[in-house]
Amino acid sequence: MSTSYFIYTEAFIGNQWVCINPTFEKEGKRRFAMTYESGSRSYFGQTADKIEEIGGHLRFKDMSAELQERYENCRDGEDVRILSAEVDAMRNCLPTGQAHEFHGIVRKDSVFAYESGDIEEPYEATSPEQYAKLDDVGKQLYQYYEWDDPMGWFVHFKEILEHVDWQIYDWQNVYGEEIINKYRVVALVF
């Protein structure tokens, strides 16, 4: 059985949460474009767990009115599990100045195999001390490399936060007079 994750962005405006995702009309109803969507527990499960860890569960009635209307046929715990985390808390999980989850000195052939999809992660990493002891021919076999675990939460947090930033930017361009200090993501898990 597959699991679907639908993520939206909400802003705290005028003492209430408001969904700031772009909208469009479909079949006579207003729909929200999602901040992020995944249909794979394997690839997104760690991310959902991390959202739950730093945020928690959200009751249906505590979502924005827009999302309650969009998912009016769903109820807490029965059809959907709702998770939420503040955007600042998500940002704080990512180390400042670190673009990728992992880094190291690894064999060039493993980088090629990793980027080709032949292996799940680069192998045969060496420490800087061991690398320094190699002769010039040995050093040519290695390179410094940075990568993310495609099934880990780090890579998905970066992508979700990038989408959130776009949505905040778009929202502020349209409704610039509102000063918003608090944003959160809401993940509906089916």
pLDDT tens-digit profile of 75-130? Answer: 666 789 999 999 999 999 999 988 999 999 999 999 999 999 999 889 888 999 99
Tell me: do 57 and 109 sit in the same domain: no
Residue 113: give the domain boundaries: 102-147
Q: How many domains are contained in the chain?
A: 2
Cα–chain center distance at 34? 12
CA distance to 5, 10, 73, 107, 141, per residue, from 61 (Å):
19, 14, 13, 52, 57
* 88 & 168 share domain: yes
Tell whether 116 and 165 lie within a shared domain. Answer: no
- Rg from Cα positions in the chain: 21
Averaged confidence pLDDT in the chain: 92
pTM exceeds 0.85 for this model: yes
